[in-house]
A = this chain, B = another copy of it.
Amino acid sequence: MMTDSSQRVADAGLLADSIRLAGLKVTAPRLAVLRALSDSPHSNADALFGAVHSELPGTSLQAVYGVLAAFATAGLVRKIEPAGSPALFERRVDDNHHHIVCTRCSVVHDVECAVGHAPCLTPADALGFDVRAAEVIYWGLCAQCQLETTHP
């Protein structure tokens, strides 16, 4: 039976593998950022810095920015930038999912592409563009905030 600690080691191995597979060197800050992102998807650089820093106190905020930039360029993480928010990062990549954001508390959740296949990826008139991606953000009130605004 696999213990908690061997599980953690196995996880570290998987994290390291995916970093290596992306063509990047495996370093402690990179492992820590990737683990923090696994634990909390849709985190911003500052939140990740907080998580990483408690595990690896020498790590600088700039290192976290550097790690995230390298990961994003290598296709290991996806960067999303909802209006009015600092950039958020997630490990779910290459599956064309979208996001729903609460206008009150800013919580973000993943949502599958509304239509399964990709009609919303094809604009009515692409105006000569070679369209590579479609990004959809839904805005609304999350369940919790609906409660809190109707029972103030």
Interface residues of A (CB under 8 A from B): 79-81, 83-84, 87, 98, 100, 102-103, 109, 111-116, 119-143, 146
Q: Is the CB–CB distance between A123 and B135 below 8 Å?
A: no
Q: Is the CB–CB distance between A143 and B122 below 8 Å?
A: no
A18 to B31, CA, bound (A): 55
Q: Is the CB–CB distance between A114 and B122 below 8 Å?
A: yes
Which residue on B lies nearest to A97, using beta carbons?
Answer: B124
User: Among the listed B80, B100, B120, which residue makes an inter-chain contact with A129, where contact means beta carbons less than 8 Å apart?
Assistant: B100
Which residue on B lies nearest to A98, using beta carbons?
Answer: B123
Which residue on B lies nearest to A81, using beta carbons?
Answer: B83
Which residue on B lies nearest to A111, using beta carbons?
Answer: B123
Taking the closest CB of chain B, its distance from the CB of A150, in whole angstroms, is 10
Taking the closest CB of chain B, its distance from the CB of A138, in whole angstroms, is 5
User: Among the listed B79, B119, B133, B138, which residue makes an inter-chain contact with A140, where contact means beta carbons less than 8 Å apart?
Assistant: B133
A125 to B79, CA, bound (A): 22
Taking the closest CB of chain B, its distance from the CB of A72, in whole angstroms, is 11
- Those 6 A-B pairs whose CB atoms lie nearest each other, nearest first: A128-B143, A81-B83, A131-B140, A111-B123, A120-B120, A129-B140
